[in-house]
Amino acid sequence: MGKAISLLRPPQATRKSESERGMELRKRPRPPLVDPDFVSSLPPRKRARGQAVPPAPARRQAMRRRGRCPPVTIQSPVAGIQPSACEPCEAPLRACRLPGASFIAHRRRPFNWYEADMWTEVAKYLFGAELVRLSSTCRWFRRLLADESIWRYAFLRDLSLLPANADRYPPRPLHRSWRLLYTAAFNGAHSYLFCQSKRHIGAYRVGGFLLESPHMLLTAMLALPRWLPPQEDGPQIAIEMTGACMLSNARPGIWIADFHLVQCPKCTINTCSGVLQVLDARHCELFLEDSFWKGTWEYEDLGDHYNNEETATAACAIFNASRRAQESASCVLSAKSWVRRCDDPQPKAHRTPYAVALNSNLLSNSNEGLVSSFQAMRDTTRDGQIVSVRITQQIC
């Protein structure tokens, strides 16, 4: 009966063997986990069939004999970074032995993400020495701070010559650099440092002023003369008569004024107790001329003015002749607004964009008058323009 029933059933597919059934139920092997922060090396080559796998201890011993670690290379995702080396064998670091440790490297941003306009604005608040130190940090700052506009701003700022409209300034000569001008103006050098350093006592920077025309007015008092002799007669006659003179061949541009204390040159250094105050003004490019440092340019005497009356102050001033009637010149002439008190013997200097002045209070019982000497230096290699002037007065 059972056989009959089995014969009536439809034919069925042959069952697979137990070994094949086990292969179907077996899970597929998972792919190895790959850290996305690393660029793994190429997969190892497959071994040939029948090739025996060496035991792990023997393989490690072979690696140690050859002086390297197991060949599991870890490369850095950052271009240009070389793999490290382990200390025991000094071979390239292959893998980290510590459990759970990983090397996380982030891609480095380029340095030029800084905005050039932002650093140009920051450079306006730095002095020359700070700009030099900043430019020496890297090439990016060196290229940025090589801009002439930055050094031009620093030069005019430190001389207190920054108006609302900077286009008013006379253009500099093309063979000069604003960085060189800044260095020559603020490196501590002065005109007495070259040939009269032994008699020099001290110096003080007054500031800068503008000379838009070749006309310059020098006075030995804080007052403008009502009348001057003709310029054809020379500056000596005008200085002797009025204590002032007009120079018509000065070099236009930016001038720098300094105040100096110098020992009296008419006596020996050891015995002379006289001190001279000097208002020294020079063109900003004087210290960049080779003829000045060679000593071919020297100061020439323009004349002396002697005031035989007892005076309480020693004052002098230099004006831009084309701007002397403006408010900046009148501010210098109103001495009560900036001079010191009568009992204060310390000198006091005052500066405006078009004039500069100096005043010192003298002891009434120790002076019998005041002698003011005028000097000028000319450019003998070109057109004979005046590049520096001095007004010297004895204060004690």
User: What is the pLDDT, as a whole number, of residue 77?
Assistant: 41
Asked whether the beta carbons of 212 and 252 are under 8 A apart, the reply is yes
Write down the pLDDT at residue 255. Answer: 93
Nearest residue to 231 via CA among 321, 326, 356: 321
* Residue 365 backbone phi and psi in degrees, to 5: -95, 10
Q: Does residue 264 surpass a pLDDT of 80?
A: no
Which helix (H) or strand (E) segment is 331 a member of? helix 327-333
pLDDT for the residue numbered 98? 43
Q: What pLDDT is stored for residue 121 in this prediction?
A: 86
Whether pLDDT at 140 is above 90: no
Each residue of 206-238: pLDDT tens digit? Answer: 999 988 889 999 999 888 888 888 888 889 999
Q: 284, 187 in Cβ contact below 8 A?
A: no
Query: pLDDT tens for residues 265-309?
Result: 665 545 556 788 999 999 999 999 888 888 889 999 999 998 887
pLDDT score recorded for residue 122: 87
- How would you label 318-344 residue by residue, b for 16+ Cβ within 10 Å and e otherwise? bbbbbbbeeebbebbbebeeebeeeee
How would you class 25 by CB atoms within 10 Å of its CB: exposed for 0-12, middle for 13-18, buried for 19 or more? exposed
Question: In the prediction, which pLDDT does 282 show?
Answer: 94
- Domains along the chain with CATH numbers: 112-181 (1.20.1280), 189-394 (no CATH)
pLDDT at 76: 41
Which of these, 371, 243, 368, lies nearest to 311 by C-alpha position? Answer: 368
Adjacent-strand bridge partners of 355: 319, 352
Contact criterion met (CB below 8 Å) for 389 and 244: no
Q: How distant is the alpha carbon of residue 237 from its chain centre?
A: 47
Strands 253-263 and 313-320: unpaired
111 pLDDT higher than 60: no
pLDDT band at 80 (very low <50, low <70, confident <90, very high): very low
State the SS3 of 263-280.
ECCCCCCCCCCCEEEEEE
The answer to whether 379 touches 389, Cβ cutoff 8 Å, is no
